[in-house]
Homo-oligomer: A and B are copies of this chain.
Amino acid sequence: MTYTCLISSFPGDIKQTIEFARINKFSAISVNSINYGFRDRELLKLPLKNDHVPFSRSDLILEANDWSRRVIMMLSDPYGIDFKDGKVRQAKEALLCQELDHANFLQGSGYVMIRLNYGNKLANLARILAAKVKCLALINLKLSNEEDTWSWWNQLRTCANFSGKFKVVLEITSGAVNEEALKKWLGEPIEGLEIPTSLFIRNKNNYPVLPKNIQQVLGRFLEKRNINFFVSAPFDENLHFYSEYLESVKVKLSKYQDNVFKSVADALQIPLQPLYDNLDTYTYDVFEKDPIKYMKYQEAITAALKDMEGDSEKIIMVLGAGRGPLVRAVLNGACKSQKTVKILVIEKNACAINTLYGHMSETWLSETDKNPVIEVINKDMRDYNPPVKADMIVSELLGSFGDNELSPECLDCATRLLKDTGISIPYRSTSYVNPMMSTKLLEAVRNLPARGNQPEPFSYTKKAQTMYVVFLNNVYHIDSPKALFKFEHPNRENPVNNNRFGEVSFKAKTDCVLTGFAGYFDADLYKDIKISTHPLEHTAGMSSWFPVFIPLIQPQFVKEGEDISGSFWRNVGSHAVWYEWMTTSPQHSLMHNTEGHCSKIYSV
């Protein structure tokens, strides 16, 4: 549910203003919290004057809930609160504290808003807001090329330790907007956009509309998330024309509403460990709902079979078959390539075996005229000793970061199942990383609850040294991804070494804050047939994998043009595999997940 808020600078009865706003189709108003014209108000702790009058309205003029649902308290201009001059600073501080006490009294779970028109010194303002604000605080800033308002915001929220209490209301201006600045704002917690009515032009029917360039800016935000509109206007206009127009823009441009993944946007998921934990039927069900992935596999299997010489029966092993989608792909590939195949279906999960038997007796045999031989084997592929060796092994052991579900360890064990001329589909996997900024994900790591029946919750320090699977949305990607780890299959090296180390460097196009890295992968299936989650080469329509998020405990400020260097390790122990990571630029971070103390992927 989004709202449209009228920023009302005109004096008047608050009840009448809410009613006026409602008639004009605004669901909320933003007003000054202090009586209009009441400048010399008395402050807390001073002895009251004889002619004391209250500094604000009585709360009883509204139903308690209407204060938080209908009213956003606008705080006074804080300019002066960071002056060296103690007298000015203290007076301003006292005024702000009084207003915040008042807002806390009235707002409950609601909002206060503060307009920021300067950014040279903000530490004292940030300190007071972070300490005093109990509800949500909206920081109102201009989106403009004239002033670097992002750095004002960044100072504030950095002082406030990236608290989730702070969100941005961005005022749209008529000037051009720098593309990188816009992208950066899209990665910030934006509550809404302020549209002054002065930005509107008249269309041929004399109705107010926004110019095309401004519509485009609005579209960029609406594409990515729910946006609330704030309209600032003088009193005497027909304000409902503006709210109706903005509502129509929202309906027209809000692609986010159609995004099937919006319910899990920026939500942290613990990566699966299918080698250690058996998957359940729900997980298989989700996997199998991605036709694109299996089409690609089928394409690869067909091409590979076509390239195989002779008419002899080809032995194909499906390794980690789950509930059998790759068996279907092999059957179709055999049919298309007109080859005779024998399929050995290897799966360690005894429960999935029931499903495979069901398929064997019901679906697989009846649909093909060749009636291939299919055998279901309930074994871990690492323990399997087949009667014959395979011409082809097919597997889908890849995680969101490629090798993070231990496909290298599994496929290395399977090399001995292959003939010398045998091939593996996929034959290579590569992981990629890029640096990113996201307050939302930093907050998500902090707020991640304890899991299951754990007696104690995890500390932030531990949670921030763990990799997560995330549908990345409220994120600014600082630079494009670069390749990190590569694995080839079959790997006939002896001994095989699946430890890896990679160092990757990036450049910041603009001032920003590094909060972690995003990770992706691609897998080469056969020749140039591949699947990829790399954002610039993503396999169209494939939905099986979200990226991984690799957090940093401590955010790092990065200047435009500065290098970002990350070092990543993949370490193989006797019972587990784990990643470690750190940055060496712009700052040396501590080593994350040393010895896998915070997260491991178990192999036995």
Question: Interface of A with B (CB < 8 Å)?
Answer: 44, 48, 53-61, 64-65, 67-68, 98, 101-102, 104-108, 130, 161, 163-165, 278-282, 285, 323, 349-355, 357-359, 377-378, 446-447, 449-450, 453, 455-461
B56 touches A98 (CB 8 A): no
Residue pairs across A and B with Cβ atoms less than 8 A apart, 16 shown, are A56-B351, A56-B354, A58-B359, A59-B355, A60-B355, A60-B358, A64-B282, A65-B282, A101-B278, A104-B280, A105-B279, A105-B352, A108-B282, A447-B449, A456-B459, A457-B458
Other A-B pairs, 7, CB within 8 Å; known A54-B353, A64-B281, A106-B351: A48-B377, A48-B378, A59-B355, A446-B450, A455-B460, A456-B460, A457-B457
A25 to chain B, nearest CB (A): 27
Taking the closest CB of chain B, its distance from the CB of A388, in whole angstroms, is: 18
Most chain B CB inside 10 Å of its own CB: which residue of A55, A58, A285: A58
Of B48, B59, B458, B460, the contact of A281 (CB 8 Å cutoff) = B59
Q: Which residues of B contact A280 (CB under 8 A)?
A: 104-108
Provide the bound-state CA to CA distance between A279 and B105, in Å.
7
Q: How far is the CA of A449 from the CA of B446 in the complex (A)?
A: 11
A101 to B277, CA, bound (A): 10
- Taking a contact as CB atoms closer than 8 A, the residue among B57, B446, B455, B459 that contacts A446 in the complex is B455
A54 touches B354 (CB 8 A): yes
Min CB–CB distance A596 → chain B (angstroms): 22
Contact A98 B350 (CB under 8 A): yes
What are the residues of chain B within 8 A of A104 when measuring CB–CB? Answer: 278, 280, 351
Q: Given known contacts A64-B285, A105-B281, A352-B105, is B457 in contact with A357 (CB within 8 Å)?
A: no
A59:B354 contact, CB within 8 angstroms = yes
- In the complex, how many angstroms separate the beta carbon of A269 from the nearest chain B beta carbon? 15
A285 contact set on B, CB distance < 8 A: 64
Q: Which of A48, A281, A453, A461 is the most central at the interface, judged by chain B CB atoms within 10 Å of its CB?
A: A281
| Given A64-B281, A64-B282, A102-B351, also A165-B54 (CB < 8 A) | no
A163 partner residues in chain B, CB cutoff 8 A: 453
CB distance from A263 to the nearest CB of B (A): 16
A349 touches B460 (CB 8 A): no
Q: With the chains together, A105 CA to B64 CA distance in Å?
A: 49
Bound Cα distance from A461 to B161, whole angstroms? 27
Minimum CB distance partner of A448 in chain B: B457
Top-6 shortest CB links A-B: A58-B358, A105-B351, A457-B457, A64-B285, A54-B354, A59-B281
B57, B349, B459: which contacts A105 (Cβ < 8 A)? B349
A98 (CB) vs chain B CBs: closest residue: B350
Contacting residues, chain B, for A55 (C-beta < 8 A) = 350, 354
Q: How far is the CA of A357 from the CA of B42 in the complex (A)?
A: 15
Q: Quote the shortest CB–CB distance from A209 to chain B (angstroms).
A: 40
Nearest-CB residue, chain B, relative to A454: B446
Nearest Cβ on chain B to A439's Cβ, whole angstroms: 13
Q: Are B278 and A58 in contact (CB under 8 A)?
A: no
List chain B residues, Cβ under 8 A from A59.
281, 323, 351, 354-355
> How distant is the Cα of A456 from the Cα of B455 in the complex, in angstroms?
15
Instruction: Given A106-B280, A453-B161, A456-B459, answer yes or no on A357-B54 (Cβ-Cβ < 8 Å).
Output: yes
* A178–B466 CA distance with the chains assembled, in angstroms: 52
A107: B residues at CB distance < 8 A = 280
Q: Which of B44, B57, B349, B458 contacts A354 (CB 8 A)?
A: B57
CA A164 – CA B111 in complex, angstroms? Answer: 36
Please name the residue on chain B nearest to A67 by beta carbon.
B281
Least CB separation from A286: chain B residue = B64
In the bound complex, CA of A98 to CA of B354 (Å): 12
User: Please, how many angstroms separate the alpha-carbon atoms of A351 and B54 in the complex?
Assistant: 9
What is the CB-to-nearest-CB distance from A550 to chain B, in angstroms, rounded to a whole number?
20
Enumerate chain B residues within 8 angstroms of A65, measured Cβ to Cβ: 282
Chain B residues whose C-beta falls within 8 Å of the C-beta of A54 in the assembled complex:
353-354, 357-358
Residues of B within 8 Å of A350, CB to CB, are 44, 55, 98, 101-102
Q: How far is the CB of A133 from chain B (nearest CB, A)?
A: 10
A281 — which chain B residues lie within 8 A by C-beta? 59, 64, 67, 105-106, 108
Contact A58 B106 (CB under 8 A): no
Assembled-state Cα–Cα distance A130/B453 (Å): 9
Residues of B within 8 A of A161 (CB): 453, 455
Question: Do A278 and B105 have beta carbons less than 8 Å apart?
Answer: yes
Q: Which residues of B contact A105 (CB under 8 A)?
A: 278-281, 349, 351-352
Considering the chains assembled together, what is the distance between the CA atoms of A67 and B354 in angstroms?
A: 15
Does the CB pair A447–B446 fall under 8 Å?
A: no
> Which residues of chain B have C-beta atoms less than 8 A from A60's C-beta?
323, 355, 358-359
Report Cα–Cα, A323/B459, bound state, in Å. 41
- The listed residue with most B CB atoms (<10 A of its CB), out of A67, A378, A455, is A378
Which one of A59, A278, A323, A358 has the highest number of Cβ atoms from chain B below 10 Å of its Cβ?
A59
A280's closest neighbor in chain B, by CB? B105
A455 / chain B contacts, CB cutoff of 8 Å: 161, 446, 460
A576 vs chain B, min Cβ distance (A): 19
**A104 to B, closest residue via Cβ:** B280
- Contact partner, A457, options B61, B378, B459, Cβ 8 Å: B459
Contacts of A44 in B (CB 8 A): 350
Q: Which residues of B contact A352 (CB under 8 A)?
A: 105
Q: Is the CB of B453 within 8 A of A450?
A: no
